[in-house]
Structure 1
Amino acid sequence: MNYSKGTNYALHTMLHLAMQEGRPIVGVQELAEQQQVSPTYLSKILTKLAKNNLIESFSGAQGGYRLSKDKYDITFLDIIQAIEGNTPLFKGCHNNSPGCLIEAVMRDSENKMEEHLKQTSIGQIAEHHEKESTI
């Protein structure tokens, strides 16, 4: 399975924002430097996250981004779907035969993975990261 680099950057950006409690907003430059990526490229990812109501954007010299809802209410699946869309990973059997057993196994696997991603919030990961950093 392969997700795009954009999804990887989105997940790390959301984790960084989730760990910024007490700060009103975080600028794109800081977010880009944290991941060593171009601010222009990251801005495109941030736009997708904002369109999916996962973050809020603020323009101007003091502008930036923050989570639009509680970090425990934002799941990995929310973030991945904001970047990748809802297209299934497995596209179906090559012969389009109904009842394809391979397709059934692949769809079942994808459903289980989605369920796991739906149950994992960015807040849980931020909390775990903070605990690990203090040890």
Structure 2
Amino acid sequence: MKYSRATDYALHTILFLAKNGSEKNMGVQELAEKQSVSPTYLSKILNKLVKEGMIRSSPGVNGGYSLSPHWEEISFLDIIQAIEGKTSLFDCCLNSNPDCSIKKVMLAAEMSMEQKLRNTKLSDLA
């Protein structure tokens, strides 16, 4: 199982914003430099996080990105789902068979992992 690089950038971006102070803005250029990524690519990721209400965007000379007021409640799972979507990691080829034992094991494992990610907040690391 592997998450996209975008998820890695999203997780690190929120952590950088938390360490910067929840009220302070950071520009996309600075956030991109910290992660050695293109500002254009990071902007697409930031737009998803803004859309989900995890961060705020402020235009202008002193603008940039900052954390939303409820940032302490943001879990790893929230960020991952904002970037990757909410579809299951496992796609059983026998979807018509609700008794598929392989599907049951895979979904149980996925649910355990999601619970761990749901219970781990980015504020725990900040």
Question: Scaled by the length of structure 2, what TM-score is found?
Answer: 0.94
Q: Could you say which residue in structure 1 is the equivalent of 2:119?
A: 119
> Equivalences for 1:94-133 in 2 at 5 Å?
94-96=93-95, 97-126=97-126
Q: What's the secondary structure of 1:65's corresponding residue?
A: strand
Output one character per residue of 1:36-83: Cα deviation in whole Å (capped at 9) or x when no partner.
000000000000000000000011222100111343211001100110
* Matched residues, number: 125
CA distance in structure 2 between the partners assigned to 1:110 and 1:18 by the alignment = 28
Determine the structure 1 residue equivalent to 2:56.
56
The answer to whether structure 1 residue 7 and structure 2 residue 7 are counterparts is yes
Q: What is the match of residue 38 of structure 2?
A: 38
User: Are 1:58 and 1:65, in contact at CA under 8 Å, matched by a contact in 2?
Assistant: yes
d(CA) in 2 for partners of 1:22 and 1:117? 22
Residue 133 of structure 1 aligns with which residue? none
Cα distance between partner residues in 1 of 2:79 and 2:37? 18
Q: Name the amino acid aligned to 1:86.
A: K
Quickly say closer, same or farther: Cα 1:77–1:22, change in 2 above 3 A.
Answer: closer
Identity %: 54
Contact 2:94 2:100 in 1 (8 A): no
Could you tell me how far 1:22 is from its partner in structure 2? Answer: 6.5
Structure 1 gap segments, 5+ residues each: 127-135
CA pair 75-4 structure 1, distance change in 2 beyond 3 A: same
Shift of 1:110: 0.5
Moved over 3 A (4+): none
1:82 is aligned to 82
Structure 2 counterpart of 1:75, one-letter code: S
Unaligned runs of 5+ in 2: none
How far the C-alpha of 1:95 sits from its partner, in A, is 2.9
After superposition, the C-alpha distances for 1:69-115 in whole angstroms (9 at most, x for unaligned) are: 343211001100110110110112x2332200010000000001111
Q: Is the 8 A contact 1:71 1:121 kept in 2?
A: no
